[in-house]
Structure 1
Amino acid sequence: MNSTQQTGGFEATVRDFWATRPVRPSTGSKAAGVSAAIARRYGVDSILVRVGFVVLFCYGGAGLVLYMLGWLLFPKEAAPLPGQTTPRREPTRTWVAVTLVLLLVPAMLWMINSIAVLGLAAGPISLYFLHRNQGDRQVTGTSDPPAQATPTGENTWVYPGTTAQQTPPSWDPLGAAPFAWDLPEPQEPEPPEPRARRFRWYNPLALLVAFVGATAVASLGAPGYFATATALGLLGVAMMIGAFLRVGRWPIVLAVPLALVALLSSVAHQYRIGDDLDLGDVQVAPVEITDVQPVYDRDAGTLDLDLSALRISTGDVVRTTASVGAGRVQIRVPSTVDVSAECEVEMGESICLNRHSNGQDVHQSITDLGPDGPGGGEIVLNATAGTGNVEVIRD
């Protein structure tokens, strides 16, 4: 065991980590080789290391920033020099390092004030404890040099396979006496004893904890997506701990479909998709002010609200909201009324009284008095769509 890992403090551990930090392999990596480097350096499964980066990515993208830091700071394995067998360590290429720094500076400044700071702290802390426990492990072993006759004094030699010092006879100045040739016959190595699996209880326990945690959260009235995300988070923690124990790969088989279920249930909750779905296309064309509903709402589909024939006089004010979770909202207004419209789209396109905008989190606030100026009544609209299009058109 490395003395640094046994008795060294924080500074000694950090110095030892930097001196023996992981080397990104030239082969066997999926991207820049950061996960493979950590796995090979500390003897853990590379899949679990990659899972760790994915889990930390959920904290505001912290996993991506930590991966880029590893790319920047971990050297690259290079071919050995002529006459040598040990691979060299090459620093990250200059143009790659410059690109990474330019990306990391704004990312770090943005993340420092968000939940991503938890992920940024969790990465170095995990690596620190991993080095404390596994830092003495060598990436590749070295074989002992072959035994040679070693001089121990004038005319005194130790022959291979012996411990007693002997003096070669005068006729054998090189020390190659026949008794040095009497070597033991080679024997077949004994087969290693099968290693018993350690922590066989770990995978079932991890699944049980994830199930109990999700059930407990659901029993408290939490929505389905939150309970699913709780189970996914507990499985992620179990796989991170399993990386230290060199077990716990099996839960990833359940974690992948569970992540898809959590994503779909989150979208369903956000857009209010449940048992009482409001789906399909609806067209409404009220004529009297009293026919206008305060809210028109659909979960998915097209909502066409035609107010072009609405009888509205000067001084009258009509307020209504048209909303769709996924789809299209279209509202037509008369040509001679004053219109105040709030158009919002979480992801998609908005055409609000001839003003066009698209992208994510689109918000337009428009007031249009029409070609005849103020007067002729007023319509106040709030048109929203989760994913899709919003259009407010003057007839």
Structure 2
Amino acid sequence: MNSTQQSGGVEATLRDFWASRPVRPRRGGKIAGVSAAIGERYGVDPILIRVAFVVGAFYSGAGITLYLLGWLLFPREAEPRPEDTAPRTEPAPTWLALVLILLLLPGVFWLTDSLAILAVAAGLAALYGLHVTRGDRPQAPTAAAPPVEAPTGPIAAEPPSENTWVYPGPEARREPPSWDPLGAVPQAWDLPEPPPQDEPEPPGRRYRWYNPLAVLLTLAFGLLAAGAFTPSTALAGMLGLAGLFLIGGAFLRVGRWPILLAVPLAALAMFFAVFSTYPQQATDLSMGDLRASPQSAEELQRNYGRAAGIVDLDLAELPVAEDQTLRTAVDVGTGQIQVRVPPEVDVWSVCRADVGEVDCLGATADGQGVTRTRMDEGADGPGGGRLELHLTAGAGRVEVIRG
């Protein structure tokens, strides 16, 4: 542990980590170089880091979320330039940062699971522990030696001594050839220039067919799956196939065309995953807020709904006879449901949220697939009419309160 960490505690350690955070190498990484960067920075075998990410992925995607965060936050080793005297780093390009942020959005829903939260916390704690114990290791890239400048102007030829061999030729050459720019072997300048050599073809050009084939197969799979599965299942399969092609492309060092498919596919998959839970009996699929305050049993609709928005149903002034039972349901794909009920009416309510939180007359819960059922007899006890509520939100908040 270095002196800065000892004197400043956690805050100083976090500042030191950010200032000397791992740098993703240009070569040696399997996907984005996050595991290789952590392994090189702290002297750990990258294979162990990769195994940890893979194991974390089985905890509601926690490993994938951590890897994407490392891809976004760790800088990349920049291409060296002749004038550089020290290695350079560069942040992720703007377009890549936007893609990573979009891919991280599903993590907000994954991390509602307690195991996923624990896995993310364990990963961050492990990285913090590595920095505390091994953060004083020097960064792997060392400063490059300054380039040696070639002498300018003609080189004065020294008079040959009796032991100096001079290459025979019709006329001595006064300027160094291209193969000896520093003039280190003047006695061989009259040798013929070497024939030009063809530059090796970059690896990516040998697989020009890979990216078009990856996109074509992903789209073809989507067309076939659309007829056999639900839209959300078909899109999830396309996303998985695009991810496999991305991994293969990373190993072959070719372009990443499947990213162009992954971003809209992820957005569509989230859309259908939310709205596939929208009840079939709800006929109103419009967007926006809905506010209603029926004043009689005839004005109370059987169903209220929105695909996305806020439904505010005020039943505080709704008259309910002593032996009367009124029923209604409210369904929202993404948004909020709030229902106010009369202070003395018996209320039987079922509140459900696929992702979000519920507060059903004091019965609260949050997370994934949460449901609360509550029977509340009001301030006057049993009697005084009955009101039954069925409230469902795909993603959002459900609340029932006394008016």
Amino acid paired to 2:318: A
After TM superposition, give the deviation of residue 385 of structure 1 in Å. 2.8
| Aligned position for 2:304 | 296
Please give the secondary structure, in 1, of the residue aligned with 2:317.
Answer: coil
| Aligned position for 1:184 | 188
Matched, 1:249 2:250: no
After TM superposition, give the deviation of residue 285 of structure 1 in Å. 1.8
Does the CA contact (< 8 Å) of 1:272 and 1:299 recur in 2?
Answer: no
Amino acid paired to 1:41: G
Separation in 1, partners of 2:325, 2:31: 69
Deviations 1:115-142 (A, max 9, x none): x9xxx9xxxxxxxxxxxxxxxxxx99xx
Aligned in 2, Cα 1:191/1:266: closer, same or farther, shift over 3 Å? Answer: farther
Please give the secondary structure, in 2, of the residue aligned with 1:304.
Answer: strand
| Aligned position for 2:28 | 41
Please give the secondary structure, in 2, of the residue aligned with 1:41.
Answer: coil
Aligned in 2, Cα 1:329/1:202: closer, same or farther, shift over 3 Å? Answer: closer
Please give the secondary structure, in 1, of the residue aligned with 2:350.
Answer: strand
Amino acid paired to 2:198: E
| Aligned position for 1:277 | 285
Please give the secondary structure, in 2, of the residue aligned with 1:263.
Answer: helix
Amino acid paired to 1:234: L
Aligned in 2, Cα 1:242/1:269: closer, same or farther, shift over 3 Å? Answer: same
Separation in 1, partners of 2:20, 2:390: 47
- Which of 360, 365, 386 aligns to 1:378? It is 386
After TM superposition, give the deviation of residue 207 of structure 1 in Å. 1.5
Considering only CA atoms, is the larger Rg found in Structure 1 or Structure 2? 1
Amino acid paired to 1:238: F
Aligned in 2, Cα 1:65/1:325: closer, same or farther, shift over 3 Å? Answer: closer
Aligned in 2, Cα 1:313/1:218: closer, same or farther, shift over 3 Å? Answer: same
After TM superposition, give the deviation of residue 308 of structure 1 in Å. 3.4
Aligned in 2, Cα 1:226/1:376: closer, same or farther, shift over 3 Å? Answer: same
Please give the secondary structure, in 1, of the residue aligned with 2:241.
Answer: helix
Does the CA contact (< 8 Å) of 2:304 and 2:331 recur in 1?
Answer: yes
- Which of 212, 216, 232 aligns to 2:220? It is 212
Separation in 2, partners of 1:347, 1:31: 38
Aligned in 2, Cα 1:282/1:235: closer, same or farther, shift over 3 Å? Answer: same
Separation in 1, partners of 2:378, 2:283: 43
Aligned in 2, Cα 1:359/1:260: closer, same or farther, shift over 3 Å? Answer: same
Aligned in 2, Cα 1:203/1:187: closer, same or farther, shift over 3 Å? Answer: farther
Matched, 1:193 2:180: no
Separation in 2, partners of 1:390, 1:248: 45
After TM superposition, give the deviation of residue 279 of structure 1 in Å. 4.0
How much identity, in percent, do the aligned residues show?
35
| Aligned position for 1:159 | none
Deviations 1:47-102 (A, max 9, x none): 9x99x989x969612235678999xxxxxx9xxxxxxxxx9xxxxxxxxxxxxxxx
| Aligned position for 2:328 | 320
| Aligned position for 1:164 | none
Does the CA contact (< 8 Å) of 2:337 and 2:398 recur in 1?
Answer: yes
Does the CA contact (< 8 Å) of 1:44 and 1:246 recur in 2?
Answer: no
| Aligned position for 2:129 | none
Deviations 1:27-65 (A, max 9, x none): xx999447x24x523698759x99x989x9696122356
Does the CA contact (< 8 Å) of 1:350 and 1:358 recur in 2?
Answer: yes
Separation in 1, partners of 2:230, 2:391: 30
Aligned in 2, Cα 1:67/1:44: closer, same or farther, shift over 3 Å? Answer: closer
| Aligned position for 2:240 | 233
| Aligned position for 1:123 | none
After TM superposition, give the deviation of residue 218 of structure 1 in Å. 1.0
Alignment of 1:29-68 (within 5 A): 32-33=21-22, 36-37=24-25, 39-41=26-28, 60-64=61-65
Does the CA contact (< 8 Å) of 1:343 and 1:384 recur in 2?
Answer: yes
After TM superposition, give the deviation of residue 300 of structure 1 in Å. 3.3
Q: Which moved more, 1:203-212 or 1:334-343?
A: 334-343
After TM superposition, give the deviation of residue 201 of structure 1 in Å. 1.6
Aligned in 2, Cα 1:222/1:238: closer, same or farther, shift over 3 Å? Answer: same
Structure 2 stretches lacking a partner, 5+ long? 1-17, 38-49, 72-76, 78-86, 88-113, 124-140, 143-160, 167-184
Separation in 2, partners of 1:68, 1:304: 41
The TM-score, its normalising length taken from structure 2, stands at 0.50
Deviations 1:262-310 (A, max 9, x none): 434444444579997244525252634x875554333234252526333
After TM superposition, give the deviation of residue 368 of structure 1 in Å. 2.5
Aligned in 2, Cα 1:245/1:270: closer, same or farther, shift over 3 Å? Answer: same
